[in-house]
A and B are shown apart, each in its own frame.
Chain A
Amino acid sequence: MSFSKSGGIYPGGEINPEERQPARKGWSKGILFGGLLLLLFSLMGLALTVGPAGLSFATVVKGVAGRLPGLRGLFPGELGIIEEKILFEIRLPRIILSVLVGMALATAGAVYQGLFRNPMADPYVLGASSGAALGATIGFAVFSGRHFSSLSPVSVLAFAGALLATVLVYNLARVGRRVSLTVLLLAGIAVSTFLSSLTSMLMILQGTEMQRIVFWLMGGFSAGRWSHVFDILPFIFLGFGAVMLYARDLNLMLLGEEKAHQLGVNIPRLRVVLAFSASLLVAAAVSVSGIIGFAGLVVPHMLRLVTGPDHRRLIPVSALAGGVFLLAADTVARTILAPTELPVGVITAFLGAPFFIYLLRKGKKAGTML
C-alpha cells in the first residue's frame, strides 16, 4: 500500500516551448565545415604554386583556369608542355594524394579513439600502420607488386596486416570490458616493433628492392601519381562510408560497452565493421605513402575540442582537417629545405610527438579521456 501522489516528481525546470535544441548548433556546425573546406581549397591552390620548378603564380592561375570550363576565356594563352606536366602530373596528384591520405588517417584515428575510448589511439601508435607496412612489404618483396592498386597482392596484404595488428592490440589491451590505457600503449609499441622488425628482415632478404622500400617506408608523397589517387579512392570512400554509418554506434560506445549493449548496439558486429573500415583506410594510406605517424592522433583530438564527442560531426570534420593537415605538412616538407625534400613523416612526428606527450601528461593529471 502506498499513498504517493501523482504528478511532477522532481523539481523540474520551466518548460519553454520556444526552446529547440538543434537549431543553433546547426549554425556553428556549418561554419566549421565550410571554413575547413575553404581552407582546404585555398591551401591546395597555394600548394600548386610552391615547388622547385619556380612556376610563377600567374602561370599556375592560367594553367588552372585553362582547365576549368567557365574561366578559360579570362586567361588566354597556353602553358608549355613541361609546365603543364609539372602542374598536373606532378604537383596536383601529389596534393590530392596527401589530402586523401590525411583524410584516411584522421578518420581511422577518430575511429580508433572511439573504439578504444581513448584519445591516444591512432593507427601509428596502435601498430596498424606497421601492420599495413609489413603486409605491403611482403607484397612488394614476394609478389614484386608494383604498388597499391585495387585488389593487388600489395593492397590485400596491407589490409590484412593492418587488420591483424588492430585485432591483436585490441585483444591484448582489453581487460574484461575495459581497455586499459597503459596496456593499450604497451601492446601498440610491442606489436608495432615486432611487425617493423619483420619488415626490416624482409627488406634485408630482398636486397634489390631495399632502397625503394626504405624510401617508401619513411613516408611521403614524392612518388605520388594519379594512379595512386585512383587506386585508393574507392577504399577511402568505402571505409569512410562504413564509419559514418556506424558513427552513432560509436557515440554509444563512449558510454562503455555494457551501456552501449543496453541501448541496442550490436557490439561484436560494430567491432568487426570498425576494425575492417579503419584497417582499410590505414592500408590505403600506408601503401601509397608509407608510415606517417601521429596525423591520426593530433587531428581528431584537436577537432574534438571544437565539435564535442559526437562522431557524426567529429569524423567528417576530422577528415577535412586531416586533409588540410597532411597537405600543409607535405608542402612544408618539400619546401623548407628545398631542393632537398624531407619525408613528411618527419614533419608530422615533429608536431605529433610533443602533442602525444602533452596528452599523456594531461591524461595523467585529469584521469579523464575524450
Chain B
Amino acid sequence: MAGQARAGITVENLSCRYREEYIFSGLGFSVKKARVTGIIGPNGSGKTTLLRCLVKLLPLETGRVFLGEEDLANLSVREIAARVGVVPQRWEANFAFTVGDLVLMGRFPHISRFQRESAGDYEVARRAMEITGLRHLADRPVTELSGGELQRVVIAQALAQTPEVLLLDEPTSHLDLNYQIETGELLQELCRNSGMTVVAVFHDLNLAARYCDELILLAHGRVLAQGAAAEVLTAENLQRAYGVKARVEKDFLTGRPFVMLLPPGKEGENTPAPAGREVLKVHLIGGGGVLAGILWELSSLGCRLSAGVLHRLDRDWEAARELGITVIEEAPFRPVGETVHRRNLEMIKEADLVLLGNIPVGPVNLKNLEAAAAALEAGKELLVCNFTPFSSRDFTNGKAAAIYEELQTAGAVFLAGPEELAAAVRRRIKQKAAAAPDR
C-alpha cells in the first residue's frame, strides 16, 4: 500500500441535484494529499451527496472533479474503484459470505474478468484484515458479526482496494466509543504511513476536530469554511451553519478545539426576565468549581445572578464570566481583600437570596464564609449547599467549622443535594412572583 502515486482531490464548480432540487451549485474546494480531511455540516448540507459525486454515483450537473491530475469524467467506474475506496454510512450483511471473502472482494477492480484472485490479492486482503484487526475473524460469516466488526470489515474491504483516496461517510456513527477512537487513530495512521488521502464525513464535531488535519464546513450547499479545526470550528461558523449557539474551547489535553452546544438563547448574558414578572435576585458564593451547573441552572430558571468573591481564572469565575454574570473578583491565590469583601457584602444586600456553594474553605477565602454569616445577620435568606461533609472541606483548623455551624443555628437552610437546591429556588421564585403586586 505504500509508495503509490499520491492524489489529492480538487472539486471545481460542482453542481448536482436530486430531481429538481439542487444540492450544490458551484461548489469548489480541494483536499490535500496524504491528510485526513473532515467534512462537517448540518443534516441535508450535502455531505453524503458530495461523497457520492466523488465516485460518480451521482451525475454532475456542472463542474469537474479531479483525482490528482486526472479528471473523474475520464475514468471508468472500475478505474475509480482502483483508486478510491468508499466506506458507506450504513451497510447491512444479509448473506453468508465470510469476512475473508468480503475483504477479498475489494480486489475486484484490480482483477481481470478472466482471472482468479492471485496470491498477491490474498496477501493484500490479509494485510487489510490485519490493519483492521479482523485477522482472527477471517473465516467467520459476516452475518455473525457485531455492528462494530462489520464496520471494520467494510473498512478492510475498502483498504483491499489499495486506494489512493479513502472516503468515509460517518465512519464512527454506529460504533461504540472505543471503536470511534480506534477508527480515528486508524485514519491518521493510513495517512501517515501509507500516504493515503482520507476524506471523512463526521457528525461528531469533536471527533472531527480531534482526528482531522483539516476541516471543510458545508452548509446550504456551499463551503462555509475550510482550514485547520481551530479556524473552522468557531462559534460564528457554527451559528451560521447549524443555527446553534456553541462554545468552543481548546481541550486542555489534546489542544484540539472542543465544541459545547448551548441551548438557544442562553448564551452570553444573564437572560432578561419576561416583562411584568418579578425576578429573583440571587447572589452566589463559590469558588473551586462548586458552582458548576448551579449558575447554569439558576440562570435557566430566570434568576438574576451575581457572584463573589471569585478568584480570577477559577472555574467558577470562568463560568460566571461566560454567562455574563456580575462577579466580584480577586486576584488568583490572593486572600480575599477588605475592599473586595465589602463590595461582596454590598452585592449581598441587593440580593433576595444568598447561596453558599459547597466550597472548600481555607485562609484564602475564609472571608467568603464570613460574608455568608453576614448575609444571615442582615436578615437575608441563606441557602447552604451542604453536599459533602464540611469537615472534609475545612482547611482552617476548625476556624471555618465554627462559623459553618453557626450558620445552621442562625437559620440558614442546609441542602443535601442539587435537587433540593433546585426545589428551594423554585419555591422561592414562586413566592416572589406571588408577592408581586398585580399590574
Which A residues contact B (CB, under 8 angstroms)? 1-2, 4, 6, 8-15, 19-22, 245-246, 248, 251-252, 254-256, 258-259, 261-267, 308-310, 368-370
Contacts and interface: CB of A to CB of B under 8 A. Distances in A.
Contacts of A15: 130, 135
Interface stretch (B80-88, B332-340, B347-355, B425-433): B80-88
Interface size class of chain B, counting residues whose CB lies under 8 Å from the partner chain: 35 or more
A174 to B, nearest CB: 16
B76 A261 contact: no
B109 interface: yes
Interface of B: 55-57, 76-82, 84-86, 88, 91-92, 94-98, 100-102, 105-106, 108-109, 111, 113-114, 122, 130-139, 143, 152, 157-158, 161, 182, 185-186, 188-189, 192-193, 210-211, 254-256
A74 B56 CA distance: 67
A157 to B, nearest CB: 31
Contacts of A13: 133-137
Contact of B57 (A11, A245, A248, A261): A261
Given A6-B192, A10-B152, A259-B88, A264 B130 contact: no
* Interface class of chain B by DSSP: helix
Contact of A369 (B56, B94, B101, B105): B94
Contact of B189 (A6, A251, A255, A310): A6
A89 B157 CA distance: 54
Nearest to A312: B116
A279 to B, nearest CB: 21
Interface of A, helix, strand, loop or mixed by DSSP? loop
B138 A310 contact: no
A370 to B, nearest CB: 4
A141 to B, nearest CB: 41
13 contacts: A6-B193, A9-B131, A9-B186, A9-B189, A13-B134, A21-B100, A245-B114, A248-B108, A248-B111, A254-B95, A259-B86, A263-B157, A266-B77
Given A2-B254, A15-B135, 18 more contacts: A6-B192, A9-B132, A10-B133, A13-B135, A15-B130, A248-B108, A252-B108, A254-B95, A256-B91, A256-B92, A259-B86, A263-B157, A265-B108, A308-B97, A308-B98, A309-B96, A309-B97, A370-B96
Contact of A266 (B78, B82, B96, B136): B78
Nearest to A19: B138
Nearest to A307: B96
Contacts of B102: 255
Given A262-B57, A263-B81, A245 B105 contact: no
Contacts of B158: 262
A10 B95 contact: no
A264 B88 contact: no
B77 A21 contact: no
Contacts of B105: 251-252, 255, 263
Contacts of B88: 258-259, 262
Contacts of B189: 4, 6, 9
A264 B139 CA distance: 24
Contact of A263 (B109, B188, B255, B256): B109
B113 A9 contact: no
A262 B81 contact: yes
Contacts of B193: 6
Contacts of B157: 263
A280 to B, nearest CB: 19
A258 B57 contact: yes
A138 B78 CA distance: 41
A2 B81 CA distance: 30
B130 A12 contact: yes
A12 B94 contact: no
Most chain A CB within a 10 A radius of its CB, from B79, B82, B189: B189
Nearest to A254: B95
Residue picked from A10, A12, A255, A256, most chain B C-beta under 10 Å: A10
A309 to B, nearest CB: 4
Contact of B182 (A9, A245, A262): A9
User: Most chain-B CB neighbours within 10 Å: which of A15, A21, A245?
Assistant: A21
B78 A4 contact: no
A18 to B, nearest CB: 13
Contacts of A4: 185, 188-189
A261 B100 contact: no
Given A263-B81, A264-B82, A310 B101 contact: yes
A14 B137 CA distance: 11
A199 B111 CA distance: 45
A244 to B, nearest CB: 10
Contacts of B57: 258, 261-262
A370 B143 CA distance: 11
B187 to A, nearest CB: 10
B91 A259 contact: yes
A369 B95 CA distance: 7
Given A6-B189, A254-B95, A264 B255 contact: no
Contact of A14 (B77, B79, B136, B182): B136
Contacts of B97: 251, 254, 308-310
